[in-house]
Amino acid sequence: MPADAINYGKLAVELNECLSDGRIDKIIMSDKTTLVLNIRARGKNNPLIITAAASPRCFITSDKIKSTDIPLAFCLHLRRHIAGGMINSVNTLPFERIIEIKITARGDLGELKPYTMFIEIMGKYSNVVLTDENGKITDSLKHVGFEESHPVMPGLIFTPPRDETRYDPVDERADALAFSCDKEELPAVMIKKLRGLSAATAAEIAYTAASCGCGLSEACSRLLARPTQAVVYYRDNKPVDFSFCDYGSASGERKIFPSICEAMDEYYSATCKQDELSVVSATAKKAISSALTKQKKKLAGFEHDLISAADYEKERILGELITANIYKIKKGDDCVIADNWYEGGQTVIKLTENSPQEDAQKHFKKYQKKKRTVSFLNEQKADAERTIDYLESVDAALSCARTVSDVEAIIEELEDEGYIRNTNKRGKKTVSEPRKYDIDGFTVLVGKSNIQNDRITKEARGDDIWLHTQGFHGSHVIIRTHGKDVPHDVLLRAASLAAFFSKARLSENVPVDYTRVKDVHKKRGAAPGKVDYFGAKTIYVTPEAPNAE
C-alpha cells in the first residue's frame, strides 16, 4: 500500500484546502489508538480520522465513528488545549510520513496560543504528538521512553525523526541506484536507500525512469508533478491499493475518485472492516480453541480410565470362584486353583492373609466400584463428546461469520454458555438478525449462531421447510412456504445455502437433509442448536456463495 511520503504529501495539500481556517468542533477517541477531530470548515463537517494502530492512517472519513464510553486521557488533554481551535495549515515534512497541523486555540484566560500537532504515519512507530509554541511536547498518544532512540514524553522538545542514512528520491545520488542492481531488485533497493517510499511508489518511479529513459531523481520529480487524480485498485472486486494518481506499474481494475480522502475511505472501509472482524473473531477463536483443547484432554482421560476399569466383570468372577472353592482353601494357602466355568479352563487366584470370605468380598467390592466408575465415566465421556460437538458447531458458525455483528452474536452465545467472561456490564444484547434471502418469491432464513438457529426454527411454522447439512456442523435454514409447494429449484438453492454456511463449504456433492419444521424437535436440556428430526429426505448440492443478503 503506498501510504508513503509522496502520497501523504499530496494528501496534505488536499487537507490544507479542506481544513484551513476550519474550527475544531469535537474531539473523540474510538479506542486507545484512534482519534477523530471533527473540523467545521467550508460550511460542512470534516471528520479527520487519525489511527496509530497496525494500519496507521489519516484522512477525512465518511464513516460515523463512535466514542469510547469514558473519555481517554489523551482525548481529554486535546479537548482542554485545542478544542474550539482554528486550523491554520496542514503540511508534511519533506519526504517524511509526518503530517504537521498548525492550530491556534485559546488558553484559560482567553489568550491565543499556537499549537502544532504532528501525526507520524510510521507503522508500529506511529504516533500523534501535540507541541506548544516552544516545540515542547504537551502530551502524545503513545509515550516513548528514554531507552529508545527517539523518546517522546511530555516536557521534552519534539524533534521529528529523520533517517540521515537515506537521501531524498529527488536527490541526484538516487540515479546511481539503477546501475547498482538488477531491474527486478531496484524497487527493494530504493526503499532501503531513499526516504519515504513504499513498494508501489518505488516500482512506479522505476517504471517511469525506464519508460522515459531518465534517472530516478527525474522520474520522481515527474511523479510529483502529476496532477492529483485519486485511484483505488481492485482485485476480485476487493480494493487492494490506492494512490494519488494512476500508477502505470500497478495491476488490477481501477476506479477514479474525486479526492484522495474518498479513495482512502473506500480502501480502508473494506480492509479495516476485515481487520476489525479478525480482531473481534480472535476472542471467540481463542475461547473455542481453549475449551476444545480442555474437553479433548478430558475425553482422552475418560477413555484411559475406562480401559482401566473395563475388567470389572473379572472381579466378580474371581469373587464367585473363591466362594465356590472355599472348601479347598486351607489356612496359609497363598493361592487357589479353580475351575473357571465362565471362561473355561482353570484360573489361579491369589489369596491374602485374610480369610477366603474376606478375599471374596474384596473382589466383589472392586467389582461394584469399577462398575460404578464405568457408569460414571461413560456419562462424563458422553458429556465431553456433546460439549466437543457443540463447540465444533460454534466454530463452524464462526468460520461463516461475515460481519462484526455476526461474531458478536457468537461471542454473546459463548458468554451465555460460560466459555467467555461476560464483560457487558450494561446488559445490552447484540441485535443480530438471521441472514435473509429471497429465492423466487420464497423467504429463506439462515441462522448465524446456535442460539439464532434455535430461534428461527422455533418461530417457523409447522409446514415450513427446515434444512441442515448431513454429518457436518452448520446453520439451520428455513424456507417460509406460506402454505405453498416449494419448487425443486428453490429447494436446491436453499440447500446450497445450507451447505455454504457449514463446515462442508469447500466440498462438493454435500448431503443436505430437509423436512417439515413440525418434524424437528429439541430435547429439553439439549445444547443450543442441537435438534432431532424425522422423516427427512436428502438432497446433494455444491455449496454456492449467496449474491446478497
Question: What is the CATH classification number for the domain harbouring 65?
Answer: 2.30.310.10
Asked whether residue 147 is assigned to any structural domain, the reply reads no
Give the residue from 369, 312, 310, 319 showing the smallest Cα distance to 349. 319
The pLDDT, as a whole number, for residue 5 is 92
Among 91, 121, 140, give the residue marking a domain's end: 140
Question: Which ranges of 20-122 does DSSP label H, i.e. alpha helix?
Answer: 73-82
3-class DSSP state of 371: helix
Residues 407 and 464 in one domain: no
Tell me which of 213 and 432 has the higher pLDDT: 213
- Going from the C-alpha of 272 to that of each of 91, 140, 404, the distances in angstroms are 26, 24, 11
Distance from CA of residue 2 to its chain's centroid?
24
Residues 419 and 462 in one domain: no
The alpha carbon torsion through 455, 459, 461, 465 (nearest 10 deg) reads -20
Distance (Å, rounded) from C-alpha 48 to C-alpha 36? 5
Residues 81 and 56 in one domain: yes
> Pairing between strand 442-446 and 435-439?
antiparallel
Whether pLDDT at 122 is above 90 = no
Residues 320 and 398 in one domain: yes
Residues 320 and 401 in one domain: yes
Asked whether residue 232 is assigned to any structural domain, the reply reads yes
3-class DSSP state of 548: coil
pLDDT confidence bin for 217, thresholds 50/70/90 = very high
Mean pLDDT of the chain: 89
Residues 210 and 255 in one domain: yes
Residues 411 and 449 in one domain: no
Residues 112 and 212 in one domain: no
Give the residue from 497, 509, 517 showing the smallest Cα distance to 538. 509
Q: Which domain holds residue 493?
A: 433-541
The mean pLDDT value for 422-440 works out to 70
Residues 395 and 473 in one domain: no
Among 379, 398, 432, give the residue marking a domain's end: 432
Among 365, 400, 432, give the residue marking a domain's end: 432
Buried b (16+ CB within 10 A) or exposed e, 265-300: bbbbebbbeeeebeebbeebeebbeebbeebeebbe
Q: Is the Cβ–Cβ distance between 310 and 366 less than 8 Å?
A: no
pLDDT confidence bin for 35, thresholds 50/70/90 = very high
pLDDT confidence bin for 313, thresholds 50/70/90 = confident
The pLDDT, as a whole number, for residue 15 is 96
Residues 317 and 406 in one domain: yes
The pLDDT, as a whole number, for residue 425 is 44
The answer, as to whether pTM is greater than 0.75, is no
Q: Which residue has the cell 471374596?
A: 360
Residues 20 and 118 in one domain: yes
The total of structural domains in the chain comes to: 4
pLDDT tens digits, 228-282? 999 999 988 888 899 999 999 998 899 999 999 999 999 888 776 666 667 678 8
The pLDDT, as a whole number, for residue 149 is 81
Residues 363 and 506 in one domain: no
Distance (Å, rounded) from C-alpha 461 to C-alpha 474? 21
pLDDT tens digits, 137-169? 999 999 998 888 889 999 999 998 888 889 999
Distance (Å, rounded) from C-alpha 385 to C-alpha 25? 57
Q: Is the Cβ–Cβ distance between 85 and 115 less than 8 Å?
A: yes
Point out which residues pair with 256 in neighbouring strands. 231
Tell me which of 408 and 528 has the higher pLDDT: 528
Asked whether residue 164 is assigned to any structural domain, the reply reads no
If one counts every other C-beta atom within 10 angstroms of the C-beta of residue 255, the result is 13
Asked whether residue 484 is assigned to any structural domain, the reply reads yes
Asked whether residue 428 is assigned to any structural domain, the reply reads yes
The count of C-alpha atoms lying within 13 angstroms of the C-alpha of 314, restricted to the half-sphere facing its C-beta, is 7
Q: Which residue has the cell 496507521?
A: 56
Asked whether residue 167 is assigned to any structural domain, the reply reads no
pLDDT confidence bin for 44, thresholds 50/70/90 = very high
Tell me which of 296 and 282 has the higher pLDDT: 296
Asked whether residue 361 is assigned to any structural domain, the reply reads yes
Asked whether residue 146 is assigned to any structural domain, the reply reads no
